[in-house]
């Protein structure tokens, strides 16, 4: 069973639908025991870093997420779910992230002729042999919607990057923790392959 953590942060239904198409048993839940007993766990999210961390803490989910990671359960953060795994964000000065991975979330710098948020399809540069990207071609296009981007402290955990106004760490992997800034559930066949790779871990 795959648990999708429900903390009122957007894109949950589209993630659930994609996993059901892959033939998976899925539970959208905020229940601690259900999350801890899952075979795999996904932290989705669309919205603001500070609000999301406040809700996660109010519902007692921070320690649950850390327990899931510590016991080696495959864990996937998507979009805001990636950002929350890191230490801090320009979007919410003074608010601590989960700190499971080292790095910071920065505001995408303004660049003439380019719109923020970064919204739409962009190509990936694959690096460091990421398990999520088996069967995915170099330069494959995926769907992004974000105004803030990851700069990971350790380049070795970066498995895909893209360029939009700056160099963006688009996907990371460390041990049992995986995360994508883009939306695999909205990225057509490429995203379907990425999710398939996750469920087959």
Q: How many domains does the chain have?
A: 1
Render pLDDT for 18-69 as a digit per residue (tens, 0 to 9): 999 999 999 999 999 999 999 999 999 888 999 999 999 999 999 999 999 9
Q: What is the CATH number of the domain that holds 150?
A: 3.40.50.880
SS3 21: helix
Q: With 80 as the cut, is the pLDDT of residue 11 above it?
A: no
DSSP state, residue 113: T
Domain that residue 90 falls in: 2-199
pLDDT tens, 130-162?
999 999 999 999 999 999 999 999 999 999 999
**Quick check: helix, strand or coil at residue 11?**
coil
Alpha-carbon distance 182 to 191, whole Å? Answer: 9
pLDDT at 8 exceeding the cut of 90: no
Task: State how far the alpha carbon of 109 is from the alpha carbons of 29, 112, 120, 159, 161, in Å.
Answer: 36, 10, 17, 22, 16
Q: Rg of the chain's alpha carbons, rounded to an integer?
A: 15
Residues 6 or more apart in contact with residue 105 via CB below 8 angstroms: 49, 83, 86, 88, 89, 90, 91, 97, 148, 149, 150, 151
Catalytic site positions: 79, 183, 185
How far is 39 from 22, CA to CA, in rounded Å? 15
Q: What mean pLDDT do residues 168-186 have? A: 98
């Amino acid at each position: 069973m795959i648990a999708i953590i429900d903390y009122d942060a957007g894109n949950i239904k589209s993630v659930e639908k994609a996993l059901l198409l892959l033939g998976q048993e899925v539970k959208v839940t905020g229940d601690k025991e259900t999350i801890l007993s899952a075979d795999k766990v996904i932290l989705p999210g669309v919205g603001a870093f500070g609000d999301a961390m406040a809700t996660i803490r109010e519902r007692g989910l921070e320690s649950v997420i850390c327990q899931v990671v510590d016991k080696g359960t495959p864990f996937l953060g998507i979009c805001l779910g990636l950002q929350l795994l890191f230490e801090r964000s320009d979007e919410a000065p003074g608010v601590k992230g989960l700190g499971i991975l080292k790095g910071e979330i920065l505001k995408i710098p303004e660049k003439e002729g380019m719109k923020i948020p970064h919204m739409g399809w962009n190509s990936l540069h694959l690096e460091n042999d990421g398990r999520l990207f088996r069967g995915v071609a170099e330069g494959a296009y995926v769907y992004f919607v974000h105004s803030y981007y990851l700069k990971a402290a350790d380049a070795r955990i970066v498995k895909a990057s893209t360029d939009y106004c700056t160099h963006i760490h688009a996907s990371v992997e460390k041990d049992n923790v995986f995360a994508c800034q883009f939306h695999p559930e909205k990225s057509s066949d490429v995203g379907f392959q990425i999710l398939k790779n996750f469920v087959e871990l």
